[in-house]
């Protein structure tokens, strides 16, 4: 973010028609994105799109993503299912209460847990693309249920209880088995 030589080279690529994006992650992603919004070369915003983590558990970058989108950046959401934590496959004892809430809302809305979680992301007006991470056909079919869900005020209110502080979310994420 501070290297002017890199900015200059990226701006040269941008002038040739290449879109410039950045991918952010971690508990300070909102801060990084706010800084990226200030990166200009010859009066032109350098970055055209951003890929960031946002899901029903980790929403801390939401205001910064809104600002980026309003500034004309494309917004790509990764980890929309929190690396599997927002699926029925999450059997962690500490997540039992949150999974029960997700299952109840999913049943009420006639969808799957992952469909509900993805619908929560798709409901954000600043989202342009959502990456599901589906690796199998059955996961993809379940994920696609998100397109049939219309979140109501009751669901939005109930799902707010899932939010974790950013530091807690990222600590849990770093402890996942695949890390």
Asked if 178 and 172 touch (Cβ cutoff 8 Å), the reply is no
* Averaged pLDDT, 118-139: 94
Residue ranges of the alpha helices (H) in the chain? 4-15, 29-37, 62-70, 96-109, 113-122, 137-143, 153-159, 166-174
Asked if 73 and 67 touch (Cβ cutoff 8 Å), the reply is no
Domain assignment present for 158:
yes
Share of the chain above pLDDT 90, in %: 86
Domain assignment present for 174:
no
Asked if 33 and 50 touch (Cβ cutoff 8 Å), the reply is yes
Closest CA to 131 of 78, 69, 59: 78
pTM of the model: 0.92
Closest CA to 116 of 139, 90, 83, 142: 142
Domain assignment present for 130:
yes
Query: Is pLDDT at 66 greater than 80 in this prediction?
Result: yes
Query: Is pLDDT at 179 greater than 70 in this prediction?
Result: no
Domain assignment present for 125:
yes
CATH number of the domain residue 148 falls in: 3.20.20.100
Mean pLDDT of all residues belonging to the chain: 93
């Amino acid at each position: 973010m501070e290297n002017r030589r890199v900015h200059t080279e990226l701006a040269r690529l941008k002038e040739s028609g290449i879109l410039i994006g950045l991918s952010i992650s971690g508990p300070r992603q909102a801060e990084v994105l706010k800084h990226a919004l200030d990166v200009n070369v010859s009066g032109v915003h350098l970055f055209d799109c951003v890929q960031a983590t946002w899901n029903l558990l980790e929403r801390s970058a939401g205001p910064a993503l809104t600002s980026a989108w309003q500034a004309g950046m494309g917004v790509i959401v990764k980890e929309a299912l929190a690396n599997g934590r927002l699926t029925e496959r999450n059997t962690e004892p500490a997540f039992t209460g949150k999974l029960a809430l997700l299952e109840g809302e999913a049943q009420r809305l006639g969808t799957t847990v992952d469909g509900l979680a993805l619908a929560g992301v798709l409901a954000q007006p600043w989202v342009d693309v959502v990456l599901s991470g589906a690796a199998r056909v059955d996961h993809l079919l379940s994920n696609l249920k998100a397109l049939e869900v219309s979140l109501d005020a009751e669901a939005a209110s109930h799902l707010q209880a899932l939010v974790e502080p950013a530091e807690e979310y990222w600590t849990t994420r770093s402890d996942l088995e695949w890390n």
